A and B are shown apart, each in its own frame.
Chain A
Amino acid sequence: MADLTESTSADSRTPILELDGIGVWLSGREILHDVKFEVRPGELVGLIGSNGAGKTTIFRVILGLLTPSSGRVLIVGGPRPRRNRSVGYVPQKIALDPDMPLRSRDLVALGLDGHKLGVSLPSRRRREMVDEMLHAVDAMPFANARVGSLSGGEQQRVMIAHALISRPKLLLLDEPLANLDLRSEQEVVELLAEIAKEHGVAVLISAHDLNPVLPVVDRVVYVAHGHVASGTTDEVVTTDVLSQLYGHNVDVIRLHGRILVVAGPSPRADPALMEQLGRLSNPVDDTVAV
C-alpha cells in the first residue's frame, strides 16, 4: 500500500486533533461539559461511551457541523477551515439504497472530488488512485459491485476508502463496528490499526463497547453524560476513574483479556442481592449508562 499521507509530519508530537474545554448546550440541556483530549499522528484513539453519552456530538463539533458554546477545536494546530480536506469522516448511519446504480469504485471516487462542480471524466490516473485505495482496504473483490447491496463489513471498508482517498491526516469513524459480525468487526479494527500505524494517520473511532477495539487502541477517551476521561486504558478504565465519571460506583473487572465495566453496589441496593444477581453478566450498557 502506498503512502496515504501527503507528507509525513515533521514533528510527530504535534497533535493532529486537539479539543480544549468543549461545552455544548442543546435545547437548554448540557450535552458536553469541558471535553478535552487530543489525538497525535499515527495514534488510534477509542471514543468509548454508551448510547446517548455524546460521542456523535463530539464528532459533529470536530467536523464543524455544530458550534460549541465554549472551548475550541484545533486541527493540525489551527482552526478548522470550512472545506477541510485533512479530515476524513465515516458517519454512524450509512443507509445506502440497495438498488442504486453506484459501484464501490464510484463511491470511493466521490471521496476524491464529490464536493466539486463538473463531471469527472474517467482518466487513468483517477482509476489508479481509486484502485490503490480499494486495494488498501481490501475491497478489490467487490470494486464493481452495487455498493448498496454489499454486507455491512464490506460497505464499511468502502466508506473507509472513500474517507481516505483525499489523504486526510485525521480519520473519524462514528461507531464503525455497530451492526458488524464478529469477523468483520475484527477485520475492520485491524485495518484501522494498519492505517494509523503504517501511514501515520490519526484515527478517532467511537464505540459503545470497549472490548473490540481494546487490542488496537493507544488511548481511550471515555464519555459518560457528556463528561470525558482520557488516557491509556490502564489509566482510564479503572474503578476509581469511571466511578467518578459516572457519578456512582462502578466496578472494572478484567477477565481473560476483556474488560467488564459493571454497576457497583448502589447505596440503595442490597449488597447480598447484587452478589446473587451476578454482576459479571451485566455489561455497562445495561446497568450504568444513561
Chain B
Amino acid sequence: MFAGFMINTWIVASIVAIVAGVVGFFVVLRGSSFAAHAIPNASFAGAAGANLVGASSIGGLLVFAVAGALGIALLSKRGRRDVATALAIVLMLALGALFLSFSTEYAAETYSLLFGEVLGVSSSELAPTVVLALLAVAAVATFWRLLLLTSVMPELAEARGVHIYRVELVFLLIVALVTSLSVPVVGALLMFSLMIGPPAAARSFTTNPFVAVVLAVSLALTTVWIAIAVSYMTTWPIGFFVGVLGAAFFLTGRAFAAWRGNRAHPRAARHSQVVAA
C-alpha cells in the first residue's frame, strides 16, 4: 500500500485530514454541522455537472461549493439558518440527481464522489489540493480571533462592532474551499464526518482551544491513515472507515469526559494546584 501509485493518495489524504481538523474545530464550535453537511452535497452536484460537460471536476466542486455557501449565507440572513441550510441541501441533491441521470458512467462516478476512492488521486490533482489547503489554513489563521469571538458570543461581538454576518460568510467560504479539495478523496458524505468526528472528540480531552485544534488534526490524520490502510487491504470503501473511526473517537471522547466529570470535585483539585503553584 506504499507503492508508487499510492503516494499521491497518502499525501492528499493527509492534507485533507489537516484542514478538516482545523476547520472542523470551528464547525463544531459554531454549531455549523448542518452547513458542513450541506456544502459537500453542493459540491457533489458540482462534480457531477462538471463531469457531464467534460470540465475539471475540482473546478465544478469549487464553483458549486462556493455557490452553496453563498446561498446558505444569503438565505439565513433573512430567516432561520437551519431552514436555509436544508433548502440548499435539497436543491443541490436535486441538481446532482439530474446531472447524474444524464451521465453515462452513472454508478461508478456517484459512488466515488459520495464515498471516496483510495486509488482515485492523480498527480495532476496534487497541486490544486495543496494550494486550496494552504488558502484554507491561512484564512482560518487570519480570522482566528473573530471566528472564536463570533462563535462563543455572537451578540457581544455584534455590540463590539464586528460584522457577524460577514464573518459567517467567510467561514462558509472556508468550508466550501476545504470541501472542494477533500471530496475527490474521502467523498462528499464522509468529508462531513471528518470535519465533525475528530474535532468533536478533541473537545473532550482539552480545555485549551489551540490544543483542541492540534488534537483534532492529529485525530483526523490518524483516522485517514488507518482508513486508507484498512481500505487498501479489504477493498472496502475508505469512507466507511473514516465514518466509523470518526464516530469511535467521538464516543471515546464522550466516555473520557463522563469519567472525568464523575471524579469528585474536579474544580477543587484545580484550585489546589493553582494555590500550590
Interface residues of A (CB under 8 A from B): 63-65, 82-84, 89-91, 93-94, 96-97, 99-103, 106-107, 110, 113-120, 140-146
Contacts and interface: CB of A to CB of B under 8 A. Distances in A.
A154 B208 CA distance: 18
Tell me if B's interface is mostly helix, strand, loop or mixed. Answer: helix
Contacts of B270: 141-142, 144-145
28 contacts: A64-B161, A65-B159, A82-B161, A89-B159, A90-B156, A91-B153, A91-B159, A97-B29, A99-B204, A99-B257, A101-B206, A101-B208, A101-B211, A101-B212, A106-B209, A110-B145, A110-B148, A110-B152, A113-B145, A114-B149, A115-B145, A115-B162, A117-B145, A119-B141, A119-B144, A120-B145, A143-B274, A145-B207
Contacts of B157: 114-115
A110 B148 CA distance: 8
Interface of B: 29, 141-146, 148-149, 152-153, 155-162, 202-204, 206-209, 211-212, 257, 267, 270-271, 274
Contact of B156 (A82, A89, A99, A101): A89
B146 A117 contact: yes
A119 B203 CA distance: 20
B145 A114 contact: yes
B158 A65 contact: yes
B94 to A, nearest CB: 34
Contacts of B153: 91, 94, 96
Given A89-B156, A101-B211, A117-B146, A84 B203 contact: no
Contacts of A103: 207-208
Contacts of B212: 101
A91 B274 CA distance: 30
Tell me if A's interface is mostly helix, strand, loop or mixed. Answer: loop
Contacts of A141: 270-271, 274
Given A119-B144, A140-B274, A100 B203 contact: yes
Given A89-B156, A101-B206, 15 more contacts: A82-B161, A84-B160, A90-B156, A99-B203, A100-B152, A102-B152, A102-B209, A110-B145, A114-B146, A114-B160, A116-B145, A117-B143, A119-B145, A142-B267, A145-B267
A216 B76 CA distance: 43
A129 to B, nearest CB: 15
Contact of B141 (A114, A118, A144): A118
A161 B103 CA distance: 60
The 7 A-B residue pairs whose C-beta atoms are closest, nearest first, are A114-B149, A83-B161, A101-B212, A119-B144, A63-B159, A146-B207, A82-B161
B29 A116 contact: no
A253 B160 CA distance: 41
A102 B207 contact: yes
The interface centre, meaning the residue of B155, B158, B204, B212 with most chain A CB atoms within 10 A of its CB, is B155
Nearest to A62: B159
Contacts of B144: 118-120
Contacts of A145: 207, 267, 270
The interface centre, meaning the residue of B148, B152, B267 with most chain A CB atoms within 10 A of its CB, is B152
Contact of B145 (A96, A101, A118, A146): A118
A115 B146 contact: yes
Contact of B149 (A83, A90, A115): A115
B156 A91 contact: yes
Contact of A100 (B29, B155, B158, B257): B29
Contacts of A120: 144-145
A144 B271 CA distance: 9
Contacts of A63: 159
B112 to A, nearest CB: 35
Contacts of B271: 141-142
Contacts of A96: 152-153
Contacts of A107: 152
A91 B155 contact: yes
B97 to A, nearest CB: 36
Given A115-B157, A117-B145, A119-B144, A101 B152 contact: no
Nearest to B205: A101
Contacts of A89: 156, 159-160
A114 B148 contact: yes
A178 B99 CA distance: 55
A115 to B, nearest CB: 5
Contacts of B160: 83-84, 89, 114-115
Contacts of B155: 91, 93
A99 B274 CA distance: 22
A115 B274 contact: no
B143 to A, nearest CB: 7
